[in-house]
Amino acid sequence: MGYDSKTELYQQVILEHNKKPRNFGKMDDATHDAEGYNPLCGDQLHVYLHINADNVIDNITFEGEGCAISKASGSMMTQALKGKTMDEAKALFTEFHDLVTGKLNPEKCEHHLGKLAIFSGIWHFPSRVKCASLSWHTMKGALDKEQTISTE
């Protein structure tokens, strides 16, 4: 069609993860899991973690319905967290949260976000920040042993 996208929101990486989300599906032997819900759009997802005796996330999956941003974010989160300790996961949660709310500028501050820095532009879209953060809030809720997480 006649025009280019004007925003950086829908980059190839995000579109690709949306189409082929990694670690997508239920985990039967999860040690931690939680359900996340965004009442604004009705998006719902479930995050499953398997945490071993050393407090390391040796497996993580997610499933559910959502927009491209929430799916891609969930997919990339599972990639980023596999092999991390619970404490590292919580620290990364904080960094990601700061990133999508515009408090952390990945070009200026030191961070451990790696590829996740792609979500940095989303704070320009206040109504979409929750799409990006839903999987992360749900993951954190699972670690904290909360059953249902709502973004409101």
Partner 1 sequence: MGFDITSIRNDFPNLQQTVHGEPLVYLDNAATTFKPQSVIDAITNHYSHETSNVHRGVHHLSEVATAAYEGAREKVRAFLNANSTKEIILTSGTTDSINLMAQSYGRALLDEGDEILITEMEHHSNIVPWQMLCQEKGCVLKVVPMNDDGELIIEEFHKLLNAKTKLVSVVYISNSLGTINPIKDIIKAAHAQGTSVIVDGAQAVSHTEIDVQDLDCDFFAFSAHKLYGPTGVGVLYGKEALLDTMAPYRGGGDMIASVTFEKTTYNVLPYKFEAGTPNVAGVIGLGAAIDYLNTLDFTDILQYKQKLLAYGTDQLSSIKDLRLIGTAKQKTSILSFVHPLIHAHDMGTLVDEQGIAIRTGHHCTQPVMKHFGVPATSRASLAMYNTTEEIDALVKAILHAVEVFQ
Residues binding partner 1 (CB under 8 A)? 1-3, 5-7, 9-10, 15, 18, 40-44, 65-69, 125, 127-128, 131
* Residue 103: other Cβ atoms inside 10 A: 12
Q: Which amino acid is located at 114 in the chain?
A: G
d(CA 21, CA 1): 27
* Closest distance of CB 106 from partner 1, Å: 21
* Closest distance of CB 11 from partner 1, Å: 10
Q: Which residues pair with 64 in a beta bridge?
A: 45
Closer residue to partner 1 in complex, CB, 14/81: 14
* Closest distance of CB 151 from partner 1, Å: 13
Q: Which amino acid is located at 83 in the chain?
A: G
Closer residue to partner 1 in complex, CB, 9/117: 9
Closer residue to partner 1 in complex, CB, 16/58: 16
Closer residue to partner 1 in complex, CB, 115/124: 124
d(CA 39, CA 127): 12
* Closest distance of CB 127 from partner 1, Å: 8
d(CA 133, CA 152): 12
Gap between the terminal Cα atoms of the chain: 37
